[in-house]
């Protein structure tokens, strides 16, 4: 849920600020991009160096750093964030946020933020129970801000009661759950194929292709980020996936056919980005073939067209996406494939385009929809291309 999310963390003056080091570490470990705003009082409890080291980003403390001449743009920080998390949120800062006061960088960034704001109160029992604190919290919630409720336990004063900031693990889990509520593909299953297939000639050799699987893996990760439950069927590749993605490793076109057939019916979205072999040897030698003859021939037969097979049984509420990698007359081949195989979208790659194709980290694509309308994109990283493809898929899912 947190991967690639931009999290702006505000740390206030509270003994609980020491927990922000663990919180930053957990957020980064979950894949988030983290920037920290530290108030002057918070810097008495934890150093900017600690949080800068853990977040791998500079820590912001002032509007203007006199020694360096650097101005911290609160508007830019507020717009950068996907989520603004204030933890610990002291009674003082909660009061400022509730009443629109912005005498420091944290509260100024809060007033500039366009994203969801979450706050985790941390204070002593009497401060927590005071009517003014409760009224300020109520106002913040009325504004749409989300409170991560404090726990009950031993407090810094020695008292026992409510006011302890939620533990970092609890805050990360709460944030992940909150993110998941707004994901457009939550509750939907997606099936993605990626990588090459290897068609055995003998126990040592195979017929294959140069696909790395990078495009398919990027699509699987993006669909998972959007909330889908993703099954990734991967041909032979060294790429790794997160535990959140259900990965099925296969070797041959036949293996991929069986895996796709077993998982397709339950999938609302299927993206067939694998480079499946069109032909496979008729016979596979049981022993390694020795180099004896001057000329050597292998008889090949067609593999089952997996994409066409799925297109034949596709239901109206299923979205099926195919890929076409072409070297000539690209548009016509892609449109023909789209129609013949009953696809909703087809993604066209041309090996004539610089930065597109196998084994590179970039791609240049065009997408045709069922109306044969063409959308062309510039050369981008495969991560960004995956976002473009998934954006087109989202348009179909909303109307399916």
- Hey, which residues are catalytic here? 209
| Alpha-carbon torsion (325, 328, 329, 331), positive or negative | positive
> SS in 3 state form for 228-278?
CEEEEEECCCCCCCCCCCEEEECCCHHHHHHHHHHHHCCCCEEEECCECCC
Instruction: Tell me the two tokens of residue 102.
Output: 């912005």
Tell me whether residue 177 is exposed, middle or buried, using C-beta atoms within 10 angstroms of its C-beta: 0 to 12, 13 to 18, 19 or more.
Answer: exposed
What CA–CA distance (Å, rounded) separates 150 from 162? Answer: 6
CA distance 314 to 40: 60
In the structure encoding, which two tokens stand for residue 80, read together? 């950068």
**Strands of 59-60's sheet in order across:** 59-60, 33-38, 6-11, 83-89, 117-121, 146-147
Question: How distant is the alpha carbon of residue 109 from its chain centre?
Answer: 25
**113 dihedral zone (left: phi>0; alpha: psi -120 to 50; beta):** beta
Q: Where are the alpha helices (DSSP H) in the chain?
A: 20-29, 48-55, 74-80, 91-99, 105-112, 125-129, 131-142, 168-181, 214-225, 253-264, 306-313, 330-340, 382-399
Burial (CB count <10 Å: 0-12, 13-18, 19+), residue 282: exposed
């Amino acid at each position: 849920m947190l991967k690639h999310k931009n999290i702006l963390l505000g740390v206030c003056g509270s003994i609980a600020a020491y927990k922000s080091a663990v919180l930053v570490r957990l957020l980064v470990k979950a894949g988030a991009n983290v920037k920290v705003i530290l108030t002057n009082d918070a810097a008495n409890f934890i150093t900017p160096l600690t949080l800068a080291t853990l977040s791998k980003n500079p820590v912001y403390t002032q509007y203007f750093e006199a020694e360096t001449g650097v101005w911290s743009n609160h508007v830019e920080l507020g717009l950068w964030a996907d989520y603004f998390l204030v933890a610990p949120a002291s009674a003082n800062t909660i009061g400022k946020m509730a009443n629109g006061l912005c005498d420091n960088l944290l509260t100024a960034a809060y007033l500039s933020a366009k994203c969801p704001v979450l706050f985790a109160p941390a204070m002593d029992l009497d401060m927590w129970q005071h009517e003014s604190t409760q009224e300020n919290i109520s106002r913040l919630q009325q504004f749409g801000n989300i409170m991560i409720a404090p726990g009950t336990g031993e407090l810094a004063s020695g008292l026992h009661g409510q006011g302890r900031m939620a533990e970092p693990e609890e805050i990360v889990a709460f944030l992940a759950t909150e993110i998941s509520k707004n994901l457009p593909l939550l509750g939907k299953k997606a099936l993605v194929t990626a990588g090459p297939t290897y068609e055995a000639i003998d126990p040592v050799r195979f017929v294959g292709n140069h696909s790395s699987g990078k495009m398919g893996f990027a699509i699987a990760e993006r669909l998972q980020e959007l909330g889908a439950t993703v099954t990734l069927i991967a041909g032979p590749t060294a790429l790794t996936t997160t535990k959140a993605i259900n990965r099925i490793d296969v070797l041959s076109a036949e293996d991929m056919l069986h895996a796709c057939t077993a998982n397709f019916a339950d999938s609302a979205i299927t993206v067939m980005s694998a480079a499946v072999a069109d032909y496979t040897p008729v016979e596979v030698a049981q022993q390694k073939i020795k180099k004896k003859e001057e000329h050597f021939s292998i008889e090949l037969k067609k593999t089952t067209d997996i994409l066409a097979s799925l297109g034949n049984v596709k239901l109206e509420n299923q979205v099926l996406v195919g890929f076409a990698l072409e070297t000539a007359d690209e548009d016509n081949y892609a449109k023909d494939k789209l129609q013949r195989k009953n696809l909703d979208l087809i993604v066209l790659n041309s090996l004539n385009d610089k930065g597109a194709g196998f084994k590179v980290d970039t791609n240049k694509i065009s997408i045709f929809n069922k109306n044969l309308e063409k959308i062309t994109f510039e050369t981008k990283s495969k991560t960004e291309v995956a976002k473009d493809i998934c954006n087109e898929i989202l348009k179909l899912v909303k109307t399916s």
